[in-house]
Structure 1
Amino acid sequence: MQAAVALADADGIESLSMRKLARDLGVEAMSLYYHVKSKDDILDGMIESVIDEMALPAADAEWKSALGERAESARRVLGRHPWAISMVDQRTTPTTMRHLDTVIGCLRHAGFSIAMAAHAMSLLDSYVHGFALQEASLPLDESGDIGATTEDILAQQGMTAAFPHLAEMGVELILQPGYAYGNEFAFGLRVILDGLEAAFTAEARSRA
């Protein structure tokens, strides 16, 4: 599956075909069918390979730091494999199910109700996948900087007057030394985890 993942990383998931994969492996396309039933089997295996790269919490881990580490890990992994962002939730495999089950187990061990665990997973995964999609879509340079694009936009005649608030953000934030869009992830993650902690505490008090 590593060859298929490497092919998708380099050229996008649209480039993946049995013929191209066979060529990269140095075999005939038909010989692949001795190992897999269809392209769907390959896609499932690719997603399992990506999921395996993501950090998983131990069952008895402190939930807040464990989920934070998982979120940061998932974002890094999806950044390496942007083609997988739209596929992670589409394909159900033993590996994806085991990953989700482990996260639920960590939350349940910490005292989360099933409903609150579902809220936590939905909120965090939506944020991670959405942020990863934005990073893959924005015109960022290799360092994660969007400054060059911002400068080009602000240099267009009339842009500052037409969009003063965007111009203010560009000049006072984005174009300042050290700014990188990726740094926004930590802020959002902290807000979400703090909010979940408050909701979890309130739920626990209501049951006491």
Structure 2
Amino acid sequence: MSRSGRRSGRDGQRPALHRGRIVEAAMDLADRGDLSAVTMRAVASALGVEAMSLYNHIANRADLLDAMVDRIFARIELPDTGDWRADLQLMARGTRTALRQHPWATGLLDSRRSPGEVTLQHHDHVLRVLGEAGFSPAMSIHVLALVDSYVYGSVIQESSLPFDDSQGQDDASRKLLEDLPAGRFPHLAEVARTRAELGRDAPGPEEEFEFGLQVIMSALHPGMDERQPGIRTAG
């Protein structure tokens, strides 16, 4: 019988404890709070077990965080269309979707010293796509870092906005326009006025993300490490 007095499972026992359940419980805690809420004791409490029982499946909190990162990467599609730009864009969109669902993961994905199997598979896949497209190993690292930085930054920026939808964006533009001192910031006023006039048709986070992604994709091309001044490669 569980601590709440209710039986769980077909035979009245709790569902079997395993690594997957522990990771899901930890992610649920992070989703409802943040990473500081993820402790071995808190996860055990959420599962209705003693903290010591977790150590049969998870070495420590660092191992748990590694597993959480692996679970995030497992939710990102690894396309292999034969078109490296299409593959990168699909992975960028998938990463953005995963991070919007789990904002706590943004600062965690690239922080692990002992990355898991899925994490390694994800990065190896991206590097293979770039290598087969003709990017050198050194330039592949640059491209991977560039795309990741753009995706992570866009998610952080979007999560920090003081509105959640196009109506909120419209209201914020109108409020800014009303509050700006007359003639003091003419260019900012012009942009705010344009957004206010567009209303719900003004580009939102989705459109802004796609615009930036297309700019990045159009600037990248295999062999650019040999042709672009200021970019050095090993060797």
- TM-score band w.r.t. shorter chain: 0.7 to 0.9
Match of 1:50 in 2: 72
Identity %: 38
The C-alpha deviation readout for 1:95-150, integer Å capped at 9, x for no partner, is 22221111111111122221221222121111111111111222231569533333
Match of 1:38 in 2: 60
Shift of 1:61: 2.3
RMSD over aligned CA atoms reads 2.4
2:110 to 74, 78, 89: 89
Q: Are positions 1:80 and 2:101 aligned together? A: yes
Amino acid at match of 1:36: I
1:71-150 matched pairs, under 5 angstroms: 71-91=92-112, 92-93=114-115, 94-141=117-164, 145-150=168-173
Query: Quick one: distance in 2 between partners of 1:201 and 1:145?
Result: 44
Shift of 1:71: 0.6
SS at match of 1:124: helix
TM-score (norm 1): 0.86
2:206 to 157, 182, 200: 182
The C-alpha deviation readout for 1:143-172, integer Å capped at 9, x for no partner, is 69533333333333x445433322221220
Paired residues of 2:176 and 2:192 also in contact (CA < 8 A) = no
Query: Quick one: distance in 2 between partners of 1:51 and 1:166?
Result: 39
The C-alpha deviation readout for 1:56-83, integer Å capped at 9, x for no partner, is 132x621011111111111111111110
Query: Quick one: distance in 1 between partners of 2:161 and 2:195?
Result: 17
Amino acid at match of 2:109: V
Query: Quick one: distance in 1 between partners of 2:148 and 2:78?
Result: 13
Higher radius of gyration, 1 or 2: 2
Shift of 1:85: 0.4
Deviates more, 1:144-153 or 1:187-196: 144-153
Shift of 1:183: 1.2
Change (3 A) 1:160 1:21: farther
SS at match of 1:90: coil
Query: Quick one: distance in 1 between partners of 2:83 and 2:49?
Result: 48
SS at match of 1:43: helix
TM-score (norm 2): 0.77
Paired residues of 2:45 and 2:51 also in contact (CA < 8 A) = yes
SS at match of 1:34: coil
The C-alpha deviation readout for 1:164-197, integer Å capped at 9, x for no partner, is 3222212202662222133101011101001003
